Amino acid sequence: ITPSAVSRQISRLESALSIKLLERTTRQVRISESGKEIYDHCRIMLDSAREAVHASSHDESDPAGYLRIAVPKAFGKQVLEPLIFPFLAQYPNIRLKLKITDYYVDPIKDEVDAIFRITDSPTEGLVSRSLGQVELKLCASPEYLREYGTPEHPKDLVRHNCLYLGERADDNQWGFVYGDQKVRVAVDGQYAVNHTEMRLNGILQGLGVGILPSFTAEPALRDGKIVQVLADWKVMGNYQGKINIQYPRSRYMPAQLRCFIDYLINEMT
């Protein structure tokens, strides 16, 4: 199909809808806000049509096709990745496209089938399935604590070398809750890194005290390589809550997504 033919079809569609789908200048053509809205609706209609055809023609016991998933970085690497390879071996006709990002992904606009979110407030308007819970844990190595002492109260952390995220100006402001007590402490340290496994490695090396999600901390805690500090205090932060897999509501869920969710429920719950 030629560019001129595409242009004529778009002009006819704009005339039929009485809206401008594209904004044109001498230098560029871009989709208008109305065009984006129409595109989103059309994509939903096309997806529903494809799902209906798939549901009526394909063997549900042998799902095939693309499966597009968005997942936070640390969770994707440490929790989801070990589960992916057995899943793909079990369903060889599924083609997985994994998007690793800590930014919010809109399933419709970003063209993914499902998203993972770690939160107690999942996105409204999407179907949500809970796969477990993530907590934040304050940890240090036994060697570090032997040399520098064990904090007995969050305020003791001001005298310790603390490993923190370092992405935002307030990332060194750590919050803790114990019963009715709420404490916020401005910590400091010589190592700030926005990578969970690298922060764990720093703790393992005896560099200081750091906050880790439970799925990162638990293997090292079980092996005694690190210990939990101030275990009676709840660490406050964004990267905790229910593990939710969310997807758009539809009468016809793709078989590959249904198999993936069932597999995760079996493996994680």
CATH of domain 136-236: 3.40.190.10
* Whole-number average pLDDT of the chain: 92
For the residues 164-172, what does the mean pLDDT come to? 89
Enter the tokens of residue 115: 């998203």
Return the pLDDT at 264: 97
Share of the chain above pLDDT 70, in %: 95
pLDDT digits (tens, 9 = 90+) for 15-63: 888 888 988 777 788 888 888 888 878 877 777 676 666 555 555 678 9
Residue 60 has what pLDDT?
A: 64
CATH 1.10.260.40 fits 56-134+247-268, yes or no: no
Residues 246 and 144: their CA atoms lie apart, in Å, by 40
What is d(CA 64, CA 96) in angstroms, rounded to the nearest whole number?
A: 10
One-letter identity of residue 20: K
3-state SS string over the chain?
CCHHHHHHHHHHHHHHHCCCCEEECCCCEEECHHHHHHHHHHHHHHHHHHHHHHHHHCCCCCCCEEEEEEECHHHHHHHHHHHHHHHHHHCCCEEEEEEECCCCCCCCCCCCCEEEEECCCCCCCEEEEEEEEECEEEEECHHHHHHHCCCCCHHHHHHCCEEECCCCCCCCEEEEEECCEEEEEECCCCCECCCHHHHHHHHHCCCCEEEEEHHHHHHHHHCCCCEECCCCCEEECCCCEEEEEEEECCCCCCHHHHHHHHHHHHHHC
End-to-end Cα separation, the chain, in angstroms: 50
Is the whole-model pTM more than 0.85? no
In terms of DSSP bridges, do strands 234-236 and 173-178 run parallel, antiparallel, or are they unpaired?
antiparallel
What is residue 57's predicted lDDT score, i.e. its pLDDT?
52
**64-101 b/e with 16+ CB inside 10 Å = b?**
beebbbbbbebbbbbbbeeebeebeeebeebeeeeeee
Contacts of 23 (CB under 8 A, 6+ apart): 29, 30, 31, 32
Instruction: State how far the Cα of 188 lies from the Cα of 123, in Å rounded to an integer.
Output: 34
Residue 233 or 43, more confident: 233
Residue type at position 59: D
Pick the residue with more confidence: 5 or 91? 91
Is there a shared CATH topology between the 56-134+247-268 domain and the 136-236 domain? yes
Q: Average of pLDDT values for 3-17?
A: 88
Predicted local distance difference test score (pLDDT) of residue 178: 97
199-228 residue pLDDT tens: 999 999 999 999 999 999 999 999 999 999
Given a cut of 80, is residue 116 above it in pLDDT? yes
128-161 pLDDT tens trace: 999 999 999 999 999 999 999 999 999 999 999 9
How confident is the model over 86-102, as a mean pLDDT?
96
Residue extents of the structural domains in the chain:
1-31, 56-134+247-268, 136-236
Q: How far apart are CA 204 and CA 189, in angstroms?
A: 16
Q: What percent of the chain has pLDDT over 90?
A: 70
